[in-house]
């Protein structure tokens, strides 16, 4: 079980309302990612759920029971932070065992849980080492192990991988996703990185200034962002957002077209432009196209095989089935 319900949950620090009244349901077994720019309230929201901060208003229910005033240790949630907070003088085994020793758990049961967590996380061979003798990724796995042995109702992760280099991060994404598939325990994962959100989540909650902008699966957000903020936030490179005449043609204030939904030709197309910077990723190439006569420059994503270079003239044609339209308030206009 691991259903978490937030009902008009509010947080003020002094006079500043960081989280305006917010409703959210996290279903049992879901992998939910809170994503949004730095300072938007992701950590605060997670800490409210964990009980590390008191709510200023509203109710938090865990598995249907009011947990708003329940102390953190009694909520059955396990939090994993960016700083691993391991005890340097203790072995991996002792670090993982720590919450169980605190709870005075029977030794045989402790051993069973620790061995199981070590196996799941590939830490068995390192179990007698100290944190200083481990890599960053292994240390983060120990921190996760310490959460697993508690057999929590839900795992709460606050940007747990920000300290790791890019390659390790990708490896850990897979491990955490795999862990979720195996344990089927509810997970809430906080990140400012939309790629992390897209690759890991069942359900993404996009936050801005403490407000939920949109909740949906990665593909729902990609296909139908509800406003300009989500349109610009989800997807890399960013969706092209065009204003002026071209938008008016489509009865909108702004139209959006993703870089991967624009065809490129050297001979003909809707917009003629000049290639600026090109970024070669190997599989794909990103082109930044100027002088199209539109108010904004255009980013296009083409196959890595396409042979264009700085200064070339090219023609662009958007796939009109993939256009997004937004009104004056920046809200999506449904088709
Ligand atoms: P995020 O995790 O999305 O980067 P935070 O939840 O840490 O954002 O912070 C949200 C906002 O709340 C920020 O404006 C931050 O300055 C403010 N804030 C966070 N904690 C406190 C605190 N203890 N006292 C006052 N303001 C805080
Ligand atoms: Mg944070």
Distance CA 335, CA 325 (A): 8
pLDDT digits over 233-249, tens only?
A: 999 999 999 999 999 99
Work out the average pLDDT over 52-70: 97
pLDDT for the residue numbered 132: 93
- The domain spans of the chain are 4-230, 240-333
DSSP, residue by residue, 111-151: HHHHHHHHHHTT-GGGTTS-GGGS-HHHHHHHHHHHHHTT-
Over residues 74-90, the mean pLDDT reads: 88
Q: Among 10, 11, 12, 13, which residue has the most ligand 1 atoms within 8 Å of its CB, making it the best to mutate?
A: 13
Question: Which SS3 state, helix, strand or coil, does residue 66 take?
Answer: strand
Task: Kindly state the helix (H) or strand (E) to which residue 247 belongs, with its residue range.
Answer: helix 245-248
Predicted local confidence at residue 162, as pLDDT = 83
**From the candidate CATH numbers 3.40.50.2300, 1.20.1300.10, 2.60.40.10, 3.40.50.300, the one assigned to the domain spanning 4-230:** 3.40.50.300
DSSP state of 240: E
C-alpha 80 to ligand 1 mean position (Å): 18
The CATH fold assigned to 240-333 is OB fold (Dihydrolipoamide Acetyltransferase, E2P) (2.40.50)
What mean pLDDT is predicted for residues 94-119? 93
Query: Residue 37's pLDDT band (boundaries 50, 70, 90)?
Result: very high
pLDDT at 170: 85
CA 245 to centroid of ligand 2, rounded, Å: 40
In which band, very low, low, confident or very high, does the pLDDT at 161 lie, cut at 50, 70 and 90?
Answer: confident
> Which residue ranges have their beta carbon within 6 Å of ligand 1?
13, 18, 36, 38-44
Predicted pLDDT at 331: 98
Tell me how far apart the alpha carbons of residues 163 and 83 are, in angstroms, rounded to a whole number: 8
Q: Indicate if the pLDDT at residue 84 is higher than 90.
A: no
Q: What does the pLDDT read at residue 83? A: 74
Arithmetic mean of pLDDT, 29-38: 97
Quote the mean pLDDT of the chain. Answer: 95
Rounded to whole angstroms, what are the CA distances from 250 to 242, 326, 331? 11, 10, 15
How many angstroms separate the CA atoms of 167 and 177, rounded?
A: 16
pLDDT of 277: 96
- Range list of β-strands (E), the chain: 4-13, 16-26, 31-35, 57-62, 65-66, 77-80, 154-158, 186-191, 203-208, 211-216, 240-243, 254-257, 262-265, 271-280, 284-290, 298-303, 313-318, 324-326
Per-residue pLDDT, 321: 96
pLDDT confidence band for 4 (50 / 70 / 90) = very high
Cα(134)–Cα(41) distance, integer angstroms: 32
Rounded Cα–Cα distance for residues 160 and 84 (Å): 8
Mean pLDDT of 279-300: 96
Query: In sequence order, which residues have a C-beta less than 8 Å from that of residue 211 and are 6 or more positions away?
Result: 20, 22
């Amino acid at each position: 079980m691991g259903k978490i319900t937030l009902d008009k949950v509010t947080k003020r620090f002094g006079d500043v309302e960081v989280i305006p009244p917010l409703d959210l349901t996290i279903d049992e077994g879901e992998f939910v990612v809170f994503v949004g720019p730095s300072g938007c309230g992701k950590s605060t929201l997670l800490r409210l759920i964990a009980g590390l901060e008191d709510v200023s208003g509203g109710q938090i229910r865990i598995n249907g029971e009011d947990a708003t005033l329940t102390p953190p240790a009694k909520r059955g949630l396990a939090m994993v932070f960016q700083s691993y907070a391991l005890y340097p003088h203790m072995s991996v085994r002792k670090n993982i065992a720590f919450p169980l020793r605190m709870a005075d758990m029977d030794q045989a049961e402790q051993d069973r849980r620790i061995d199981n967590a070590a196996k799941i996380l590939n830490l068995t061979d390192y179990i007698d080492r100290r944190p200083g003798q481990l890599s960053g990724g292994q240390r983060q796995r120990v921190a996760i192990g310490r959460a697993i042995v508690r057999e929590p109702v839900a795992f709460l992760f606050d940007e747990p991988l920000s300290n790791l280099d890019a390659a390790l991060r990708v490896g850990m994404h897979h491990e955490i996703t795999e862990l979720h598939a195996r344990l089927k325990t509810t997970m809430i994962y906080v990140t400012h990185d939309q790629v992390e959100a897209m690759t890991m989540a069942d359900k993404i909650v996009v936050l801005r200034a403490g407000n939920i902008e949109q909740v949906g699966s990665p593909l729902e957000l990609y296909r139908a962002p509800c406003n300009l903020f989500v349109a610009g936030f989800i997807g890399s490179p960013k969706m092209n957002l065009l204003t002026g005449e071209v938008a008016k043609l489509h009865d909108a204030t702004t139209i959006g077209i993703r870089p991967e939904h624009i065809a490129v030709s050297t001979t003909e197309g809707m917009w003629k432009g000049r290639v600026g910077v090109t970024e070669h990723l190997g599989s794909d190439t990103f082109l930044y196209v100027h002088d199209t006569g539109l108010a904004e420059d255009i980013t296009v994503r083409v196959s890595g095989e396409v042979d264009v270079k700085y200064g070339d003239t090219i023609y662009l044609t958007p796939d009109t089935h993939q256009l997004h339209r937004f009104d004056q308030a920046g809200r999506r206009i449904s088709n």
